[in-house]
Amino acid sequence: MSNSVNISVETTCENQIREIAYDGTELYQPPPTLSESLAKCAARIDFSKTSLEDLKKEEKSAAAAEDDNKDVNQFQESLWPWDAVRNKLKDAYTEICVLSDVISIAKDKRYLVLDPLLEDGDDTKPIVQVYSRKKAISQAAQVLLSGAERLRNAHSEQRSRNISDFHIELLRLRQNWRLKKVSNGAIIGDLSYRTAGSKFGMSGTFEVTKAEDALDEEGAGNSANASTPSSSSSNNGMQPKASSALRVIVPAELQGVAYIKVITQKDQEDLCTAQVNLMGHGPNITAQVGVWQKSLEFAQNVLFCKELFAQLAREAIQLQAPIPHVVIGNQIRATLLPNIQLIISLCHSTSFDSSQPAPINDHDHVLEHSLHQLLREVHYKNSHHPFPHPASAPLGPSKKRMLAGPTAADREALLDMTKTQTILEQIIAQAQHIFMRKRTQYVLDTLARDVKDPQIVSHWNAMNSPTMSCVKINIVTHGYDAIGRTSLVIHVKERSLKCICRDGRVMKLSYEPQELRDLILCQINSHQISCLVSLARYMAWTVLSNSNHLGIGKVEPLGNASSCLLASPNSDRMIAVQIRCDPQIDVKVYIARSPRQDFFPSPLVPEKFWENLGGNFKEVRFDKIEGKSFLNKMEFLMASLTSNTA
């Protein structure tokens, strides 16, 4: 039993809607009648296509083109459905008639003859292709061979001549210097500091050429060896051994060697000398790269020195100093301190003189480096401007000026922002400071040498600025460091000193060395007394009084004597100490005993107890007392005067 279901297959039989009436009824297009469908199919026959595959292809494209064709067909339908078929059949009939006419005429052989076509086969024979390719490849091979030949020649030439190639030299030159090629083929280089921020007017352009013509000239000039250019280098022992394939031509004003000499002079004698010279800075690549590196470096050095000197000279004329600066020729004289002058001169020697004396041994590296650094700082400030933050702020103003608005800076603050110190002012300040520092060191050293009793120990700060240094001075007595120490700090500035004592006193001294000397002597003075006071306490002696400024004796230029009065534990002895420091430390010690030995009762003063009022003070020959130092002597003195209580 098969459970089969009857399925009926029918077409949708839906016709296209032609029109929808306003009341919703749809008017269908009546389905095409048989004759209409036949006419449609016949119209689609293309009599020009014969094979089945073409027909199938046509079907697909026809389905796409049907929509376009529908419009066309709509117009043609009005004519006649079979019109297209009729036309195609008529054309086919015409062609068949023509064909039969031609065949009948050709068969007659009177007016038309049919000849078979010669089989020409392939248009291009493979052999022709092979020939053409062979010719092209041989041409390419020719080009490559000629190039290889040139390279081989150059290589062998290079090995035989032992001179490095122009191009390799040019590459090395380009790695170190800025070069560019100009329109007429010459190579121009720039050795100025313009890209680093310099605004100097002198141009630093040099030209690079091949050295063959130069070597040939030298070879021709030497009558002995005119043949090989390589041997000309071995002729003169003066010339550098490695001659290179390229030559640099520097402008005439930059040739030679230049340096800036900085001398501090005191009444016609040199105190310290410095030479500013850029040679010896940076890695030395001269050996590897040849002669031109040295000449370019020298030329750049000359340019730098000229710029530095021009800047200094300009500033020297513009600045208003209490003693005006003098600019004569290539020398600038500025006064640092009375009787002390700073002389900056530009020394430019155009002839390469091997007998030139070596730089003077008293070389002040600090001034040399400072001048170099100062000009580089100017260059840096010219090129590196601070970036605006936030990003929409204007380019240009410095950070301080950007803050000037919101922080309500007044006119004076704004004007202060524009003031900068020139290079000359800075170098003068540095030179003054160097001088002050040397002088202070000298004073302290001579005092330390001369005064042996309390020892003067000075510690200079390792870190300091170009215009300020600090020194800490400790005054101690050897063996009694634990008892007392006087310390003070001295700030050495450009033209003055500032001294800060332990007790908080701040004193400003001028550049005269005598003032410092006097100060130290006074400090020694007070050191002795204060140590004595502490020592007395250790020895159980009572300090009756002490004073830093007694105000007795003749008027001294250097303050007054300081003194101390001590009493023994038993109160039977008294010691009075007086220390003056004009011109050397002068110590006077007096002792007294109580009760007095020389009391005799008299009718006026009958009672015995009046002998307890202290006796006269007798001076002690202090220099004869045993002891290494003042405190040592005082200790012995006090020890000897301390009596055991009975």
Site for another protein, rule CB under 8 A: 383-385, 387-396, 402-403, 405-406, 411
Query: Nearest to residue 441, comparing CAs of 425, 427, 461?
Result: 461
User: What span, in angstroms and rounded, lies between the C-alpha atoms of 635 and 624?
Assistant: 14
Smallest distance from the beta carbon of 408 to another protein, in angstroms? 9
Smallest distance from the beta carbon of 391 to another protein, in angstroms? 5
Q: Which is nearer to another protein, 168 or 196 (CB)?
A: 196
Q: Which is nearer to another protein, 417 or 501 (CB)?
A: 417
User: What span, in angstroms and rounded, lies between the C-alpha atoms of 602 and 444?
Assistant: 59
Q: Which is nearer to another protein, 317 or 403 (CB)?
A: 403
Q: Which is nearer to another protein, 281 or 459 (CB)?
A: 281
CB 497 within 8 A of CB 482: no
Kindly state the DSSP code that residue 407 receives in the 8-state scheme: T
Smallest distance from the beta carbon of 396 to another protein, in angstroms? 8
Q: Which amino acid is at 591?
A: I
Smallest distance from the beta carbon of 415 to another protein, in angstroms? 13
Q: Which amino acid is at 206?
A: F
Smallest distance from the beta carbon of 403 to another protein, in angstroms? 6
Smallest distance from the beta carbon of 382 to another protein, in angstroms? 11
CB 572 within 8 A of CB 613: no
Q: Which is nearer to another protein, 280 or 394 (CB)?
A: 394
Kindly state the DSSP code that residue 585 receives in the 8-state scheme: E
* Helix, strand and coil percent figures for the chain, each rounded to 5: 40, 20, 40
Q: Which is nearer to another protein, 175 or 351 (CB)?
A: 175
Smallest distance from the beta carbon of 301 to another protein, in angstroms? 22
Kindly state the DSSP code that residue 5 receives in the 8-state scheme: -
Smallest distance from the beta carbon of 285 to another protein, in angstroms? 20
User: What span, in angstroms and rounded, lies between the C-alpha atoms of 220 and 214?
Assistant: 10
User: What span, in angstroms and rounded, lies between the C-alpha atoms of 610 and 594?
Assistant: 10
User: What span, in angstroms and rounded, lies between the C-alpha atoms of 472 and 470?
Assistant: 7
DSSP letter string, 100-122: HHHHHHHHHTSS----PPP----
User: What span, in angstroms and rounded, lies between the C-alpha atoms of 438 and 499?
Assistant: 17
Q: Which is nearer to another protein, 416 or 450 (CB)?
A: 416
CB count in 10 Å sphere of residue 291? 18
CA atoms within 13 A on the CB side of 431: 28
- The alpha carbons of the chain give a radius of gyration, in whole angstroms, of 57
- Is residue 459 within a helix (H) or strand (E), and if so which, with residue range? strand 454-460
Q: Which is nearer to another protein, 319 or 402 (CB)?
A: 402
User: What span, in angstroms and rounded, lies between the C-alpha atoms of 170 and 188?
Assistant: 12
Smallest distance from the beta carbon of 202 to another protein, in angstroms? 23
Q: Which is nearer to another protein, 402 or 544 (CB)?
A: 402
User: What span, in angstroms and rounded, lies between the C-alpha atoms of 78 and 152?
Assistant: 88
Q: Which is nearer to another protein, 31 or 396 (CB)?
A: 396
Q: Which residues contact 460 (CB under 8 A, 6 or more apart)?
A: 441, 469, 470, 471
Smallest distance from the beta carbon of 230 to another protein, in angstroms? 41
Retrieve residue 301's tokens. 């050095």
ω into 595 cis (within 30 of 0): yes
Q: Which is nearer to another protein, 405 or 603 (CB)?
A: 405
Smallest distance from the beta carbon of 43 to another protein, in angstroms? 53
End-to-end CA distance of the chain: 159
Q: Which is nearer to another protein, 321 or 393 (CB)?
A: 393
